[in-house]
Structure 1
Amino acid sequence: MKRVHKRIFIILVAIVVTVASSIFLSSFQAGPVNEQVFPKTQQEIAPETETPQDGAVIDHPLPEDPILTNGPWASAHFLMDEYACDCAGYCDGWPADMDPELLEKIEALRCYFNRPIIITSGVRCERRNAEVGGIENSWHLSGHAADLYCPGVPCDEVAWVARELGLGVIEYPDQQFDHCEIWH
């Protein structure tokens, strides 16, 4: 009897994997979304921002630029470009390499919530770090830190999970993001 149950389970898992793979692959073949079907503008979609109450969640709008899926991947859900320095051209975007352990733990954070994690700052050049008020020896300068948030999830909850995953965390509740870092 156990063999029958085991075979049924294996067949069901194979069917689920096949269906999920088919859906995933067909989404890449579908091509661009027809704008006439979804006529809303970014302005209509973006929520209004306001000062949060204690424990409140600010639903940050997603980046205005279209989400790109080409380029080298840092992990299953993040492009390397999401971690690049966002200066006004002072550097080539990569004054330092990102720490692979940090990338792995941020991917684990994303998988825990099963929701997008938005990286607002990854590696920084010294000039950009000074512009944003970063400390002189910031972990951002060496690719060991990233600022992030998870839309719809309180930043203190994101911080708690990040700490459980072994990240150092500085919380910025007024701005609703967390600074996550790897200490080396």
Structure 2
Amino acid sequence: MKNFYKTISRRLILSILILISCVFLTGLGFALEDLPDKAPQPSASETEPQGPEPAVPAPEPQETPQDGAVIDHPLPEDPILTDGPWASAHFLMDEYACDCAGYCDGWPAAMDQELLEKIEALRRYFDQPIIITSGVRCERRNAEVGGIAASWHLSGHAADLYCPGVPYDEVAAAARALGLGVIEYPDQQFDHCEIWR
């Protein structure tokens, strides 16, 4: 539980720093020219699946929100730490670490660099925080959360995420345009993004 609160606190501080930076830059009149008007179109090699998409266990019957609906995912309450190695311009490596209760050292596998780059591109596209709810997982943590035996999380090729205030299906469409494999979870309003290897 301590690791959970530590991760949450790190994410909140990072979100606040990003928000302050955006407000500051906007106030000074800086234009962020590298942000595209719409999701970049992937090249032909990026859109070809590199392997089959893993089977997803059937979700428990629940009332599914309509497409475009947004569950108000709360931002983490505790402050987010901003020290440690960065995965990309907006994400600390710790945001991708296994969030188990100490079964592993947090890194049972290394995160795939291409996945990190594409999630950073997704963050830049929406120009607002993306919250990583699950990155790499050890086998025990994967079993706890009901992950499939061959989950891409086990090898660092997947991350579950959401963008506060943005419908999950819009996040999924942008992620697919960037060349990510996506499984949508409409009942929980998040997306599983992966790189096939």
After TM superposition, the score normalised by the length of structure 2 is 0.67
Cα offset for 1:64?
2.4
1:103 aligns with 2:109: no
1:53 matched to which residue of 2?
65
Cα offset for 1:65?
2.4
2:92 matched to which residue of 1?
79
1:156 matched to which residue of 2?
169
After TM superposition, the score normalised by the length of structure 1 is 0.72
**Higher RCO (C-alpha 8 Å, min separation 6):** 2
2:43 matched to which residue of 1?
none
The 3 A distance-change label for structure 1 pair 93 and 141 is same
Q: Unmatched 5+ residue regions in structure 2?
A: 1-23, 29-62
The equivalences for 1:13-52 within 5 A come to 20=25
1:65 matched to which residue of 2?
78
Cα offset for 1:52?
6.6
Q: Unmatched 5+ residue regions in structure 1?
A: 1-18, 24-50
2:4 matched to which residue of 1?
none
CA distance in 2, matches of 1:140, 1:82: 13
Contact 2:162 2:191 in 1 (8 A): yes
For 1:25-81, what per-residue CA distance to the aligned partner results, in whole angstroms no more than 9, with x for missing partners? xxxxxxxxxxxxxxxxxxxxxxxxxx7731211120012221211110000000000
CA distance in 2, matches of 1:162, 1:128: 25
Root-mean-square deviation over aligned CA pairs: 1.9
Q: What amino acid maps onto 2:104 in structure 1?
A: C
Contact 1:121 1:147 in 2 (8 A): yes
Task: Give runs of ≥4 in structure 1 deviating > 6 Å.
Answer: none
Contact 1:52 1:58 in 2 (8 A): no
- Which of the two has higher C-alpha Rg? 1
For 1:74-114, what per-residue CA distance to the aligned partner results, in whole angstroms no more than 9, with x for missing partners? 00000000000000000000000000000000000000000
Cα offset for 1:152?
0.3
Aligned identity (percent) is 85
Contact 1:155 1:173 in 2 (8 A): yes
Aligned length: 139
SS of equivalent residue, structure 1 residue 134: coil
